Amino acid sequence: MSNETTPNTSLPKEPMVDDHTRTFITRVFRLLEDVIFVGLGVLLAGTALYLLAAAAGHFGKHLFALTLTGEAVIKLIEELLLVLLVVEIQYTVQVSFREHTLAPEPFLIIGLIAAVRRVLVITAELAEPVNITDIVFQRLMIELGVLTGLIVALVLSVMMLRRRYHSPEAAPNG
């Protein structure tokens, strides 16, 4: 064995890309991100307006034909929750565009709306028990139980986030 030391073969200390290039690339990516967010926002806004107009049309049709039944109301609420879901996604895109960060609360709200919407769909399916077998009924009950747990977890998560961000400790000293 020799006592000789081998030369240092580690990576060079100098960065592969200089700071000016890194800043330029970061600006280009931010610009692309902004363009994508604006496009998403416009498409989501158009989608929300279309869905709202369609829900209003369905409501008006049932109202004037005097066929506004419980099932039609559940369908209307489901359509409105879909509009709310799209608007909440658009809000999330807006926050991401403005702050260049992902906030967790809008995603929790989106999940909450989606879970409530699915509960309404199951409720509507259970309104006509003629087409439901015992196995389908059991699966729907399990799904309702899981959705209920999910809704409780999402509500608790939103409450914890709001308490965390609105607590006196989170307020800036001034």
Q: Is 124 exposed, middle or buried (0-12, 13-18, 19+ CB in 10 A)?
A: middle
Instruction: State the CB neighbour count (10 A cutoff) for residue 82.
Output: 19
- The pLDDT value recorded for residue 10 is 62
Report, in angstroms and rounded to the nearest whole number, the Rg of the chain calculated over CA atoms.
Answer: 26
User: CB-based contacts of 163: which residues, under 8 Å, 6+ apart?
Assistant: none
pLDDT single digits (tens) 97-132: 888 777 788 888 888 988 988 898 888 777 777 777
* pLDDT above 90 (res 7): no
CA separation for the pair 124, 131 (Å, rounded): 12
Predicted TM-score of the model (pTM): 0.65
pLDDT of residue 163: 86
8 A C-beta contact, residue 85 and residue 113: yes
Distance of CA 124 to the CA centre of its chain: 24
41 conformational bin, left if phi > 0, alpha if psi -120 to 50, beta if neither: alpha
pLDDT tens-place string over residues 59-96: 999 888 888 787 788 888 889 988 988 998 888 888 88
pLDDT at 72: 82
User: How confident is the model over 15-47, as pLDDT tens digits?
Assistant: 676 888 889 998 999 899 889 989 999 999 999
Asked if 111 and 154 count as a contact pair (C-beta separation under 8 A), the reply is: yes
Mean pLDDT of 133-144: 89
Tokens of 51: 């869905």
Bigger pLDDT: 7 vs 149: 149
